Structure 1
Amino acid sequence: MSAAAPVPPPDRVVNGPTPKHAQLREILRRTVERELPPGAPIPSERDLAQRYGVSRLTVRSAIGKLVEEGLLARVRGKGTFTAARRMELQVYLMSFTDDMLRRGLTPATEVVATSTEVPPATSAQALGLADGVPAHHLVRLRRADGVPLAVERGWYHAGRTPGLLDLDLSRSLYAQLADAYGARPDHAWQTVWAESADRETARLLNIRAGSPLLVFRRVSSSNGEPVEDMTSWYRGDHYQVTMQLDRNAPDSGHQPHGGNR
C-alpha cells in the first residue's frame, strides 16, 4: 500500500459558528480537488484527528459526506482513497462495449435475466406494438476493468429480432443486431434524469441503496423502425454529462418517439 499523501498544513479547524466537521470537510475537499490524483490514499482517521485537533467522530463525519458525494471512496481493509474522476457519459449513439474500448478500458457484460413477455404499456407504445403483443426483455450488468458501472433493462421488438435471446448477449448487442438482423440502431431519442438506487440495482452495482444514479431511457430505431426501448442506470460517482447549448429556438411540437418515462 502506498504512503498516504500529506494534507497541507495551512488549513486548520477553529472554534466558531461553522461546525468542525463542515470545516474539515472543506479542507479535505480542497486537498482532493487540487493536490491528489485519482486513487491516492488519504491519511487515516487517527492521523487526521491528531493533525487538526478534532475527534475521530468529527473526521468520520467529514469523510462520510465526501464519500456520499463521490469524491472519496472507502475500500474495506485498505483505507479511504480519492475516487476516480468521473467519465463523460456518451450522448451519441454508441454501444457500451464500443464506448469502453474507445476509452482504453476492458468491457464485460453479465446477463442477469432474459424473458419474452408482454411489455409495459409505455414500452409497447415506444416499440409500436399492439396491446398484448410480447417483446424480448433483457437485463444486463455492464462492467469496465472489472468495476460495475451500469445496469441495463431493455425491451426489444420480437418481430424484428426473432431468436434474440439465443444470441451471445454478453457481447455487444448493437453489433449482433447488425450481424443477425441488419438492424443496428441508427437513430434514437434519449431522456435523462436522476434517481436513487433501489435495493436490487444497488446490489448489482455494489453500492449502497439510495446512492445517486444517472438514468438514461433510450428508444432506438433502425431504418425508421423502432427496435429497442432501453433504460440504463449509471453510477453517479463514476459519470457526469456535459452538453453544448446554443441559443436556438426549440423544435416546437415535436415530441420524441415513445415519450418520457
Structure 2
Amino acid sequence: MGIDTGADRVADGPTPKHAQLREILRRTIEGELPPGSPIPSERELAERYDVSRLTVRSAIGKLVDEGLLTRARGKGTFTATKRMDLQLYLMSFTDDMRRRGLMPTTELLGITREIPPTPTLSALGLPEGECAYRLRRLRRADGVPLAVERGWYHASRVAGMPELDLTQSLYAQLAATYGIRLDHARQTVWAESADAETARLLGIRTGSSLLVFRRVSSMRGEPVEDMTSWYRGDHYQVTMQLDRNDPDSGRPAQHGGTR
C-alpha cells in the first residue's frame, strides 16, 4: 500500500484523527489500489500513522460501511470490487451479466408446487388454496455469488415448468416454451440485513447489507411471476434518472421499469 507518509500525516487538531486517517485511506484506495487489494493490518497502520489501533479500527469500519473496503474473516481487509449498477428495466440476469462481459451461472436450489402466501396469491391473481410453482435459485457471475432468487410462478401458465433447465435463462425458456415474453413489471426495492441462510448462500456474514427487489411481472396484463431477489449490497447499487414532471402531458419522466 503505497502511502506517502510525508504528504499524508495524522495530526492533532480540530478534525478527529480517525476522520483524518479515513480520508488518507480513501485517497489511496480510490487513486492507487485496484479492487481486491489487501491493505496493511491495524497494527501496521497504527505504527505508520502514530495513532491508536482503536483509531485505525474506526477509520476502517467507516470505509467498510461505505463499501470501499471489505473484510474477509481470517484473511484481512481488502479493497472492494466496484459496485454494478442495477438498471431498472426488464432483462434476465443471464443477459445482464453477459452484457457486462461476465460469465453467468445458476444453481437450482429447488422447485416445488405449493400454496403461496396470500400476497402472492393476490399478485398472481390466484384463488385461495390454489398452488403455484415455487422456484429458488442462486445466481453467480464469474463464479462469485451475487443474488438469491425466491419466487413464484402461475402454474397453469407455465405447466411443466420443473422440466425446464432452470440453470439457464428462465426468460428465454418462457419465451421458447410457452410464448411468454414478459412486457410489464411492477418492482419494489428495499434494504435488508442478510439472514443466516441467505448469508451462507452468498458467502457473506450474517447481517450484511442486501438490496432486495420484489418484481411482479406479466404479459398482456396476465401475471406470471412474483419474484423476490436478494442482491449483495457490496456489489450492487441502483441508479435511476428522474426528471421533472411535464405539466403539459401530466406524465412523470422517470426512466425504466424493472431490473
For the aligned pair, the TM-score class normalised by the smaller chain equals: 0.7 to 0.9
1:6 has 2:2 as partner: yes
1:174 has 2:171 as partner: yes
User: Using the alignment, how far apart are the partners of 2:73 and 2:204 within structure 1?
Assistant: 13
User: Using the alignment, how far apart are the partners of 1:17 and 1:205 within structure 2?
Assistant: 42
Deviations 1:101-123 (A, max 9, x none): 11000111111122111111111
Match of 1:70 among 67, 71, 95: 67
AA of the residue aligned to 2:50: G
User: Using the alignment, how far apart are the partners of 2:13 and 2:196 within structure 1?
Assistant: 40
1:141 has 2:138 as partner: yes
> Please, which moves more after superposition, 226-235 or 76-85?
76-85
SS at match of 2:223: strand
Q: CA RMSD in A?
A: 2.0
For residue 16 of structure 1, report the CA deviation from its aligned partner.
Answer: 4.6
Asked if the contact 1:183–1:223 (Cα under 8 Å) also holds between the matched residues in 2, the reply is: no
Unaligned runs of 5+ in 2: 253-259
AA of the residue aligned to 2:199: A
Unaligned runs of 5+ in 1: 253-261
For residue 53 of structure 1, report the CA deviation from its aligned partner.
Answer: 0.6
User: Using the alignment, how far apart are the partners of 1:169 and 1:32 within structure 2?
Assistant: 39
For residue 251 of structure 1, report the CA deviation from its aligned partner.
Answer: 6.0
> Please, which moves more after superposition, 108-117 or 155-164?
108-117
| TM-score, length basis structure 1 | 0.87
AA of the residue aligned to 1:243: M
AA of the residue aligned to 1:167: L
Tell me the number of residue pairs that the alignment of Structure 1 and Structure 2 aligns: 248
Give the aligned partner of residue 241 of structure 1.
238
For residue 179 of structure 1, report the CA deviation from its aligned partner.
Answer: 1.4
User: Using the alignment, how far apart are the partners of 1:237 and 1:77 within structure 2?
Assistant: 19
AA of the residue aligned to 1:170: T
AA of the residue aligned to 2:4: P
User: Using the alignment, how far apart are the partners of 2:211 and 2:116 within structure 1?
Assistant: 23
Asked if the contact 1:6–1:43 (Cα under 8 Å) also holds between the matched residues in 2, the reply is: no
User: Using the alignment, how far apart are the partners of 2:36 and 2:79 within structure 1?
Assistant: 5
Asked if the contact 1:90–1:99 (Cα under 8 Å) also holds between the matched residues in 2, the reply is: no
User: Using the alignment, how far apart are the partners of 2:157 and 2:103 within structure 1?
Assistant: 30
Within 5 Å, give how 1:58-137 maps onto structure 2.
58-75=55-72, 78-137=75-134
SS at match of 2:121: helix
Within 5 Å, give how 1:147-158 maps onto structure 2.
147-158=144-155
State the percentage of identical aligned residues: 73
AA of the residue aligned to 2:62: K
SS at match of 2:150: strand
Asked if the contact 1:8–1:31 (Cα under 8 Å) also holds between the matched residues in 2, the reply is: no
1:195 has 2:200 as partner: no
| TM-score, length basis structure 2 | 0.88
SS at match of 1:207: coil
AA of the residue aligned to 1:7: I
User: Using the alignment, how far apart are the partners of 2:243 and 2:94 within structure 1?
Assistant: 30
User: Using the alignment, how far apart are the partners of 1:57 and 1:247 within structure 2?
Assistant: 46
1:231 has 2:228 as partner: yes
